[in-house]
Structure 1
C-alpha cells in the first residue's frame, strides 16, 4: 500500500524485473493524467519508467497493471491501494489494516495442486476458481490473522482489485461505526455490510468491545468456500454488558 497526503508531489519509478517475460505498467486511480500513468509507464523486462504526479484528491484508490490482456495481469495479483490522506491526516485510531480482495481464474480446478495458467474463458464467464483476501487462501487466518485488543478503535482500508466481482464486505459480529462510501468524502454510520466494486475501495472504522475471533467475509457467501475470508483476533477482558453466553449451544466454525 502506498500512502501520501493531498497535494503531495509524488515521483514513482516502475521497474520490470529482467527475469520477467512480459511488459508491465501501472494505472493509479489516484492519478489525474493519461491512463492514470499507464500510458507512460509501459516497461519491458529489465527496463524502468518514472512519472511525477500531484495527489489532488483525498481517498483510497486502487492501482493495477493495465497492459493487455488486463484481466490476466490483475488476476495474477498485480494490484494494490494508494491512500491519499487529507492535509491534516486521518483522525487517530489504535490499529490500521490493509485488506484487498481479488478473484483468480485458472486453467486447473480449485484445490488441484500445481502451477496453473490464467483462464480467459473462465474470466469472461465470471466464474473464478478462487476469491481471496490479500492474495491467497488463508492469508489472514491462523498465525497470520489480524490482531487487536478490546477497547481499540480499528480502521480497515479495504480494496477490490477484481477482475470481475463486486464485494459485499462484512465483519461477522461487528457493526461498522463509520464507512467512507467508495472511499470518498461521504461517510455513513452504523453499517452492517458495504459494497465495493471492482477497482474500488472503502474505509471502515469500528471499536472492539468483546474478545474473540471476528471473521471478515464477502457476504456473497458462496465465495467463502472459494477463500474469501480473514480473521481479526481480539484479546482482552469479557464484556457481559455487551455480550454474554447464558446457555451455550454446540460449536460451529462460523457465525452464519
Structure 2
C-alpha cells in the first residue's frame, strides 16, 4: 500500500525555496535518505535480482492513429535491482519498471497524461521523475517525489511534439540517472509520424564504478570518477553490448525495410555520436525535434552519418535497409565501443543487390569511371 505524503517528504528533502533550481534540490551534504553509496572496494559478485535489465529495443508502443485527444493513465514503478553489467560483473542499478531505458511512453500532441510514480517499501532511496515534455516546475519532479513505500502523481498536457527524455531528479540526480533512471516520452505531432516497417528504442548512459571495467566481482558507484566525468562503462540499454550478436542481439529486420530508431541519451555527462556503421540516417530529427505543421519531409535532415545527441536529449533517425548486412549502432567516440561496452547490432536479411553493394566483386564485372 502506497502512502501519498508529498508535503512531509518535500520538507525532509529540503525541496522548495532557495534550495531548488528548476525543480532539482541542491546537492547538499547529508541529505537524509539519499546518500550516494560509498566506495567500498571490490566485493564478490552479488546475487542478481533479474536476468535481463536491458530493455528490448523492439518493445515500442504502436504508432497513434487518431485525431482526437485522449487521457493516458501511466504508472512508473521504481525498481532498485542488482544485475550484471557483463558476465561476472554485478552492479546495483536504479530503474523505472526494472529496465534500462525506462518504458517508452507514446502520446499525441494535445493528449493528457496522468502520471503516478510508485516507490515500493523495499526501496532504499527516494525517487521522482522529471519529464522534458512538461510545462511545469521541474518537469513534474517536485510533484512526483516519493520516499520508499509512497506514491505521488501529477497530470500534464503534452502541448509540443518531439521525443523527450524523462529522468529521476532527486538531489543526487547524476548518480540516479547514471544508474538507470531515464527513458523517453514521444509526443507525436498532430498529423502523426510517417509509416515505417520497424521501430527500435535504445538508451545510452555511463556507469562510474569503483573497479576496473571487466574485473569480476561486485562494482560499487565511484563519486570521484563521476565528478571527473570518467566512466568505466558507456552502455546502450544498461549492459555491455546488450543487443549485439554476442549478447542478446542482433535485432532482425528485412532488406527493403525502413527502420526508425529512437535513442535517448541519459548521460548524465557524455554526448553520444550516434552512427550506424554500414548505413546512414537517411532522415534524422536532431534532439528529437518534430514539426507542428506536419511537414516531416522538409523538417528532417537528410543522409546524416553521425548524430550528436547531448546528455538529456534524444534523436530520431531512419535507416533504409538496402542490402543484406549487419548494421552496428555505435557511439563514434570509438574507444567507448572497444573498451567501455557500447554496441548494438541490427541484421537485414534478404535478397542481394549487387548493384548497390557487391562484397565479392572481382574487379572486372562493372562498367563506369575509374578512380585511381
Instruction: State the TM-score, normalized to the length of structure 1.
Output: 0.94
Per-residue CA distance 1:208-251 (angstroms, 9 max, x = gap): 01112110100001100201111001111111010002359xxx
Shift of 1:99: 1.0
Matched, 1:237 2:340: no
CA contact (8 A) 1:75 1:118 kept: no
4-13 or 183-192, larger mean C-alpha shift: 183-192
SS across alignment from 2:225: helix
* Secondary structure at 1:97 match in 2: strand
Q: Deviations over 1:84-135 (max 9, x none)?
A: 1012211100000001110110112111222222111001111101000011
- Aligned-partner Cα distance in 2 for 1:123–1:35: 23
CA distance in 1, matches of 2:287, 2:117: 27
> What SS does the corresponding residue of 2:265 show, helix, strand or coil?
strand
Residue 342 (structure 2) pairs with residue 228 (structure 1): yes
Partner of 2:43: none
Query: Is the 2:287–2:309 contact (alpha carbons within 8 Å) kept by the matching residues of 1?
Result: yes
**SS of aligned partner of 1:39:** helix
What's 2:322 paired with?
A: 209
- 2:138, 2:124 → 1: CA distance? 23
* Aligned pair partner of 1:147 in 243, 252, 269: 252
- Report what 2:91 is aligned to: none
The answer as to whether partners of 2:200 and 2:261 remain within 8 angstroms in 1 is yes
Number of the residue aligned with 2:272: 167
Match of residue 198, structure 2, among 92, 95, 98? 95
Q: Which has the higher strand share?
A: 1
Q: Distance in 1 between matches of 2:250 and 2:150?
A: 37
C-alpha displacement of 1:68: 1.5
Size of the aligned set, in residue pairs, is: 248
Larger Rg: 1 or 2?
A: 2
Paired residue for 1:122, among 215, 225, 239? 225
- Secondary structure (helix, strand or coil) at the match of 1:100 reads strand
Partners of 1:153 and 1:28 lie apart in 2 by 29
Shift of 1:138: 2.1
Matching of residue 192 in structure 1 with residue 295 in structure 2 = no
Q: Is residue 185 of structure 2 the alignment partner of residue 72 of structure 1?
A: no
Following the alignment from structure 1 to structure 2, what is the Cα–Cα distance between the partners of residues 24 and 195?
29
CA-CA distance at 1:76 after TM superposition: 0.7
C-alpha separation in 1, matches of 2:118 and 2:218: 25
Give 1:147 shift: 1.3
SS in 2 for 1:224: helix
Gaps of 5+ in 2: 1-103, 291-298, 363-372
Q: Does the Cα contact within 8 Å between 1:25 and 1:67 map onto a contact in 2?
A: yes
SS at match of 2:217: coil
The answer as to whether partners of 2:116 and 2:151 remain within 8 angstroms in 1 is: yes
Unaligned 5+ segments in structure 1 are 249-256
2:196 is paired with a residue whose SS is: coil
1:39 to 138, 142, 146: 142
CA distance in 1 between counterparts of 2:259 and 2:274 reads 15
Rounded Cα–Cα distance in structure 2 between residues aligned with 1:137 and 1:145: 14
TM-score (structure 2 length as normaliser): 0.65
